[in-house]
Structure 1
Amino acid sequence: MAKRVCRYVCAFIFLIIGLALIFLSLFLLPVLRDAFVNKSLHSDAVLKEGSVAFKEWKSPGSAVYYVISVYNVTNADNVMNTKAKPNVTELGPYYYREHKNKTNVTFTDNGKVVKYKLHDMYVFDRTKTASHLDPDKDLITCLNVPYMAVVDQYIKGKLNYVELLGLKALAKDPSVFIKHTVTELVWGYQDSLTEFLHKDNKLPSSTFGLFANDSSADWTSYSSVRTGIDDLNSVGQFVSWRGKNSLSYWNGTYANMINGTDGTFFHPHLHNQEDVVVFVDSLYRSTNLTHQANVSQYSISLYRYVIPKWELQNRTVYSANSMWYANWFWGLLNLSAPLSAPVFMSKPHFLDADPEFLTNVTGMKNPEAEQDDTMMDAEPLTGFVFNVHKRLQVNVRLQQHSTTLNALGVSNVRDTLVPVAYIDQTASANKTTCDEFRDKVYKPIEIVNDVRWGLVGLGGAMTAVSVILLGYWMFRSRKRGYEPLSSLPRLSTQDV
């Protein structure tokens, strides 16, 4: 009898241990794992000295390139005199290595905010650019953008006829089209017209270029972002940009807000149903990115985010975009307010734009989403961005307007957009970086998960063995006529 009781007791203990292991594995270990992950994120995903995020934010580990292609207009005379469609040929791509240097980094508000000055510099990469391309020698014909700014100001009534003639006299080349090297067009040139317009507060700089290299504005003004130590969801969010807490270019408080991160990373624990927000300094505004697909890079699962089409709709289709003066065709971002020139951004080759723009230009290839769309691939657990292609095309509006003696030079032109250049600001984590990330972030989680499911298996096996043995012994007891354990006499305190 004692032997049989001992057998049952051991089986019950075995059963309880098995159930306990299953409970521990399914309910307690995930809590401990998540606590470990959150502790790690608070250590490495916030902006503080020594964290992984701070190191990447201050000086990106992956090489960042500006890949630039320009459009050369081959029939400028016909465009000006016969309303011909611009015919363009593409030159490029020209590769420039981007070097970001954040200086004067200072933590404020008890470590909740970090402020800094940003220095952007771009260095031509001869090794990546085709040998027949030389940006210092390659000449292109393109719209004279500073002069187009003067034309735009006159058409809008901000200049009178006498002022127009005076500005034309100041211009180095007062024609609608102008020739420049790729370097001059991309990084800037100076002439008497741009100098005068800058002094008269009609242009933001005395030098005109599509992009700024070694910008003094960034050296002299502080920007600031949230560190995330008090709220992980706020990490990297802009507080101010170039000394401004809000902008003044757009129509309304919301449009002038400086929201989002700079795109280096997002907040941890991303969900594929949520949009993320980035502040794009080259567009002078914040924009939403929406989840498009799940992708992977060197076995790291990533969320791919793209610009939603509604961000590029005009106000007749999406009324909220009237805040950003989306008054023309769809597929454009109107930058005439911040740049004081009729500049419109689109996706390269007018991807997702009104087909009229593509039909009004000859020589341009058809758009391809894989090559022309902006995309950012972020790892959902940490919010770190592993792959990015920020693709934008610069276009300038050529407006037909009749004046005395064709003073503007645009009496016989077609009212259309003329593409000038497009860029792909790109960076991608290499295999070494991805391997290090997996070892540091994924491997501890994988070990915990392996232990968890191992314990589930062990607990399940112990439970199954216990149930089988108890069932077998109870079956044998009944078959041999033994009384079940429940019918055995129980000891009381009086029997002791």
Structure 2
Amino acid sequence: MAMRSKAIRLSLICSAAVFVIVALITLVAVLVFDRLFLSILYKQLAILPGSTVFESWSAPSVPVYFSVYLFNLTNEAELLKGAAPRLQEVGPFVYRENREKFDIVFSDEIPEDFGFQASNFYHFVPEMSVASRNWAKLHSKLFTAGLLEKRSPFFFLNGPFVTLSPYDAMWNHHPLVIQTINVGLFASQNGTKPVQYKIHTGLDDISKVGSIIEVNGQKKLSVWDHEEANMINGSDGSNAPPGLEIGSTIQFYVNDICRSVVSYAVAKTQAINRPDIELLVFSGTPPDPRDPANDWRERMFCKSGYGCPPKGLLALSPCLAATGENVPLYLSQPYFLGADPRIVQAFDQFPDPIPERHSTWIHIEPETGDMLYA
């Protein structure tokens, strides 16, 4: 009996040992496989000549649409008598965006970086828009107010307000206020000013894939007073690095506003029509608004002679001045989301922003860094 009990014990011990060994082998195999899989995947994600990634990067097949909502001033007479401005939203005016990259030159046979030029072209999509781009005229005080505040010498063409079509407001070099200034809100973006980039391929370090080395031959800007504000960080927005997770941060350099912006991975979601694919939600709003670093990220873009814009606004004037366009403009999230509440209070009956609708976000596949929705 004792011999039988001892044999059973020995059998159980051997079985347990075999189980532990098999479990360890399985665990090691899984870890090795995961590392091997990620290593192979990351090599495929480098932007190299002839690769699938290069083809999709240089000529994206997925259509990108650009929607514009404009605000029409509806109480010109009352405003001249001291009333608060009343605005009416008009839109969307939808454009298909074609991102063209050309003059692509790789540095070596096995390149670590390469240069190219990029231009964006926009084509109006009437079937997705509220009306024709030459539809009802818009009344705007946008440029006249800015010039009045700057006390620039000028004379009005048609009184203190301008009347123009959505097309003229967005794209046309239309004489808005004075005969010496011709400007459209997005005129410089519609293929008229190619930007020259030099970026990393990601061959040696996949975390740097697509990150910018130079813009128009410069490794940093000379627009702002602070060195950190003049740094060129991140990609041009065509891609993000792989291996992302909740808490990750990524940066994009936006040439039209002369600055790099930070985006934060704050949540997870499922891909549209593919609930089996999990995506990360990146937001331009910091997860902790009380973080003192957020205040510095805004203050470092204050520039002597221009001051600091109100909270939630980005001053575009220093960037425009660097290209010879002296127009006072500011950028904000839709409906001034996250901005100083006094801005909204300065308007008559201006609707409150809705974070779910008006926040800026990007959906990214975390393992590959592919941007799927924005």
For 1:30-49, what aligned pairs fall within 5 Å after superposition? Answer: 30-43=31-44, 45-49=45-49
Q: Is residue 292–residue 304 contact of structure 1 (8 Å, CA) maintained in 2?
A: yes
- 1:108 paired residue number: 107
For 1:19-168, what aligned pairs fall within 5 Å after superposition? Answer: 19-43=20-44, 45-79=45-79, 81-108=80-107, 110-130=110-130, 133-143=131-141, 145=143, 147-148=144-145, 150-154=147-151, 164=153, 167-168=154-155
Unaligned runs of 5+ in 2: 321-325
Shift of residue 311 of structure 1? 11
1:189 matched to 2:190? The reply is no
Q: Is residue 73–residue 85 contact of structure 2 (8 Å, CA) maintained in 1?
A: yes
Q: Which residue type is aligned with residue 151 of structure 1?
A: L
TM-score, with structure 2 as normaliser: 0.84
1:384 matched to 2:354? The reply is no
- Worse overlay, 179-188 or 351-360: 351-360
Q: Is residue 173–residue 187 contact of structure 2 (8 Å, CA) maintained in 1?
A: no
Shift of residue 264 of structure 1? 2.7
Distance, in Å, in 2 between the alignment partners of 1:312 and 1:329 is 16
CA deviation map 1:313-333 (0-9, x unaligned): 9x9982452221272421111
Q: Do the aligned partners of residues 149 and 357 (structure 1) sit closer, same or farther apart at CA in structure 2, a change above 3 Å counting?
A: closer
- Worse overlay, 179-188 or 304-313: 304-313
Shift of residue 196 of structure 1? 3.1
For 1:297-336, what aligned pairs fall within 5 Å after superposition? Answer: 297=271, 298=274, 299-309=276-286, 318-325=295-302, 327-336=308-317
1:234 matched to 2:208? The reply is yes
Name the SS of the counterpart of 1:294 in structure 2. strand
- 2:323 paired residue number: none
1:179 matched to 2:163? The reply is yes
CA deviation map 1:163-222 (0-9, x unaligned): x1xx42xx644x33100000000112333976735xxxxxxxx5433453533321xx42
Unaligned runs of 5+ in 1: 198-205, 389-496
Distance, in Å, in 2 between the alignment partners of 1:346 and 1:319 is 18
Shift of residue 50 of structure 1? 3.5
- 1:222 paired residue number: 196
Q: Is residue 289–residue 307 contact of structure 1 (8 Å, CA) maintained in 2?
A: yes
Q: Is residue 148–residue 342 contact of structure 1 (8 Å, CA) maintained in 2?
A: no
Shift of residue 128 of structure 1? 1.4
Say what the alpha-carbon RMSD is for the aligned residues.
3.1
For 1:223-372, what aligned pairs fall within 5 Å after superposition? Answer: 223-297=197-271, 298=274, 299-309=276-286, 318-325=295-302, 327-339=308-320, 340-372=326-358
Q: Do the aligned partners of residues 344 and 378 (structure 1) sit closer, same or farther apart at CA in structure 2, a change above 3 Å counting?
A: same
Name the SS of the counterpart of 1:217 in structure 2. coil
Distance, in Å, in 2 between the alignment partners of 1:137 and 1:243 is 41
Name the SS of the counterpart of 2:188 in structure 1. coil
Q: Which residue type is aligned with residue 268 of structure 1?
A: P
Shift of residue 356 of structure 1? 1.4
More helix by share: 1
Distance, in Å, in 1 between the alignment partners of 2:234 and 2:329 is 24
Name the SS of the counterpart of 1:279 in structure 2. strand
Q: Do the aligned partners of residues 190 and 128 (structure 1) sit closer, same or farther apart at CA in structure 2, a change above 3 Å counting?
A: closer
Q: Is residue 197–residue 214 contact of structure 2 (8 Å, CA) maintained in 1?
A: yes
For 1:449-460, what aligned pairs fall within 5 Å after superposition? Answer: none
Q: Which residue type is aligned with residue 186 of structure 1?
A: M
CA deviation map 1:273-298 (0-9, x unaligned): 23211112332211111122111111
Distance, in Å, in 2 between the alignment partners of 1:212 and 1:283 is 12
Between the aligned residues of both structures, percent identity stands at 22
Q: How many matched pairs? A: 354
Shift of residue 259 of structure 1? 0.7
Distance, in Å, in 1 between the alignment partners of 2:198 and 2:13 is 62
Q: Which residue type is aligned with residue 71 of structure 1?
A: F
Name the SS of the counterpart of 1:121 in structure 2. strand
Q: Is residue 147–residue 328 contact of structure 2 (8 Å, CA) maintained in 1?
A: no
Distance, in Å, in 1 between the alignment partners of 2:353 and 2:294 is 22
Larger RCO (CA within 8 A; separation ≥ 6): 1
